[in-house]
Amino acid sequence: MPFAQVFGHRRLVSLLSRSIENDSLPPSLLFAGPAGVGKRVTAIAVAQALNCPKGSRFRVQGSGFAVPGSGFAVPGSGFTVPGSMFDACGTCAACKRISRGVHPDVPIVGPGDSGAIRIDQVREIVDRAAYRPFEGRRRVVIIDGADALVTAAQHALLKTLEEPPPSSVFILVTSRPDTLLATVLSRCPQLRFRPLAADDIAAALVARGYSESDALAVAATADGSLGQALAARADERVEARDVAQRVLAHAAATAEPGRRIDGAKELLIKTGAGGAGDREQLASHLRAMASLLRDVEVLATRADDRALANPDVRPALERLTGAYQGERGVRAFSAIDRALGALERNAGVKVVADWLVLQL
Ligand SMILES: [Zn+2]
């Protein structure tokens, strides 16, 4: 992800871009700030700008989703922010390998299963840094989650941070700089990343396919962290899908109305407060059901697997295919559609859920 695709942090990004262009980037840096705001992607953008063979001054482009007041927009189409900056192309082989973490000159070190960055991991990168880059111009060592460096590993880094080999840059990334040794901190100029503005988070979510209104709603409760916004959404989606799966399976297993209605209770999980929140909760379960039924149809017609919206739960989809392929699936799908319509017209959640399970 080049600089142009980093959301927010315009002042830091242009500072980094300028210093790369002027060849004045400090050889060791500390990116500090809350989790999930883009420190790591900015470090990757630095590595790309230093190594992209097509690196040059690019006009900063934005997209159709111009965020009012933020002065910045999603890269990639129409909307143009005046100005240009030195940046990587983001699309060449070197840029792609850097962003995937497989470029030989841009090692990304992080805590392993133990939760710590061990001294042997640090010794290895320090040794490697002594040699010239294999194929890039500059070796950029990114230590992500630098607060996980064990004390001995921090000591092992000290000398290298003080006098990095001429073609190497070290970037330490952390949300807890205060846990690092003072001697490490004093050797690394610190760039402070602030929480993202809600507008920037919304723009990033729209770039990932969220509708504008969904994006603004999620961004509003994300505490300035894009990572948190994405995680919260993903959790909710997984939960809604679990519920949907269980309700469909339950309805497939019994035709007896009383027992069907039991399944409706599941659909009403997390409701009860009353009002629009309840309706939105039920609607998210229903949308997840619709998405599963669409996938059942894909499997039943043996269409391309890549068309699946939920490929990660394929075994569960296959189990549902027996009951819901063909006409029954179509009926269920249209019942869900009607139920969503009823919720939009403010129908009560219990009435809608009870009605729906009897239609499945
Ligand atoms: Zn490139």
Residues 164 and 260 in one domain: no
Cα(72) to centroid(ligand 1), Å: 22
Cα(141) to centroid(ligand 1), Å: 18
Identify whether 316 is part of a domain.
yes
Residues 187 and 230 in one domain: no
0.85 exceeded by pTM: no
**CATH number of the CATH domain containing 166:** 3.40.50.300
Identify whether 97 is part of a domain.
yes
pLDDT computed for residue 303 by the predictor: 67
Cα(93) to centroid(ligand 1), Å: 7
Identify whether 289 is part of a domain.
yes
Tens digit of pLDDT for each residue in 153-175? 999 999 999 888 889 999 999 99
Cα(89) to centroid(ligand 1), Å: 4
Cα(109) to centroid(ligand 1), Å: 22
Three-state secondary structure call for residue 81: strand
Tens digit of pLDDT for each residue in 33-79? 999 999 999 999 999 999 999 988 877 654 333 333 333 334 433 33
Residues 187 and 239 in one domain: no
Cα(301) to centroid(ligand 1), Å: 41
Cα(50) to centroid(ligand 1), Å: 10
pLDDT computed for residue 289 by the predictor: 93
Tens digit of pLDDT for each residue in 347-358? 899 999 999 999
Residues 34 and 85 in one domain: yes
Question: Number of folded domains in the chain?
Answer: 2
pLDDT computed for residue 205 by the predictor: 86
Assigned token pair, 227:
């990572």
Rounded distance between C-alpha atoms, residue 204 and residue 319, angstroms? 36
Cα(1) to centroid(ligand 1), Å: 10
Cα(111) to centroid(ligand 1), Å: 28
Three-state secondary structure call for residue 172: strand
Cα(86) to centroid(ligand 1), Å: 12
pLDDT tens, per residue, the chain with 360 residues: 789 888 889 889 989 999 999 999 999 999 999 999 999 999 999 999 999 999 888 776 543 333 333 333 344 333 334 567 899 999 999 999 999 999 999 999 999 888 999 999 999 999 988 888 888 889 999 999 999 999 999 999 999 998 888 899 999 999 999 999 999 999 999 999 999 988 888 888 888 877 777 788 778 778 889 988 888 777 787 888 899 999 999 999 988 989 999 889 989 988 877 777 788 889 889 988 998 998 899 888 876 777 777 777 888 999 999 999 889 999 999 999 999 999 988 889 999 999 999 999
Rounded distance between C-alpha atoms, residue 144 and residue 331, angstroms? 50
Domain, as residue range, for 170: 3-196
Cα(98) to centroid(ligand 1), Å: 9
| Summary mean pLDDT of the chain | 86
Identify whether 244 is part of a domain.
yes
Residues 190 and 229 in one domain: no
Q: What percent of the chain has pLDDT over 70?
A: 92
Identify whether 158 is part of a domain.
yes
Q: Which residues of 333-351 are buried (b: 16+ CB within 10 A; e: fewer)?
A: bebbeebbebbeeeeebbe
Residues 33 and 84 in one domain: yes
For 95-144, the DSSP string reads: HHHHHHT--TT--EE---TTSSB-HHHHHHHHHHHTSPPSSSSSEEEEEE
**CATH number of the CATH domain containing 300:** 1.20.272
Rounded distance between C-alpha atoms, residue 72 and residue 34, angstroms? 21
Cα(34) to centroid(ligand 1), Å: 28
Residues 232 and 173 in one domain: no
pLDDT computed for residue 60 by the predictor: 64
